[in-house]
Structure 1
Amino acid sequence: MTDDRWLSVDEIATHLGVKRDTIYKWIERKNMPAHKVGRLWKFRKDEVDNWVRTNTDNTDRSKEG
C-alpha cells in the first residue's frame, strides 16, 4: 500500500532535507509541483520525487539562501 496522503510544506522540506523557505522559492521560481488548498500548499511525494529526478539543478543547496 502506498502512502498517497498530501504532505505539508514542513513535511516535504524534511523529506528533501531543505528549509521551508527553499520550498516556497522552488514553487515560485522553479515550478515545483505543488497544489494550493485554501491558503496552504500541499504536495504529492511521488510528484515531488519525480520533479527532483528530472530537474537535478533544482536541488543545488549551495543556492538556498
Structure 2
Amino acid sequence: MSDKNIEKWSTLKEVQEYLGVGRETILQWIAKRNMPAYKVGRLWKFKLSEVDDWIRSGGADDRNAE
C-alpha cells in the first residue's frame, strides 16, 4: 500500500485554521450537526476530505439548524 494515498489525520486546531472558525463552533457542530470527527483518547481527529464533504452537503449551513 502506498503512503501517498493515505490521508493524514488533522487536529481540532488544524480544522479551526482550515475553516476559519472557533473551537466552540466545531465542538457544537460535532455535537449537534453530525460533523465527521473521531475521538482518539482525549483528542478529536478529523479527515479534511470528510469535513469538506460534510460542508458541501450543507452540514454547516445555519438554515439546516434545529
TM bin (shorter chain): 0.7 to 0.9
Equivalent in the alignment of 2:20? 17
Q: Does 1:49 align with 2:37?
A: no
Return the TM-score normalized by structure 1.
0.81
Distance in 2, matches of 1:47 and 1:37, equals: 17
Percent identical across equivalent pairs? 47
Task: Give 5+ residue unaligned stretches, structure 1.
Answer: 61-65
Secondary structure at the counterpart of residue 55 of structure 1: coil
Return the TM-score normalized by structure 2.
0.79
4+ residue stretches of structure 1 with deviation over 2 A?
none
Equivalent in the alignment of 1:36? 39
Q: Does 1:4 align with 2:7?
A: yes
Secondary structure at the counterpart of residue 32 of structure 1: coil
Higher normalized strand content (fraction of residues): 2
Higher gyration radius (CA): 2
Distance in 1, matches of 2:6 and 2:30, equals: 22
| Number of equivalences | 59
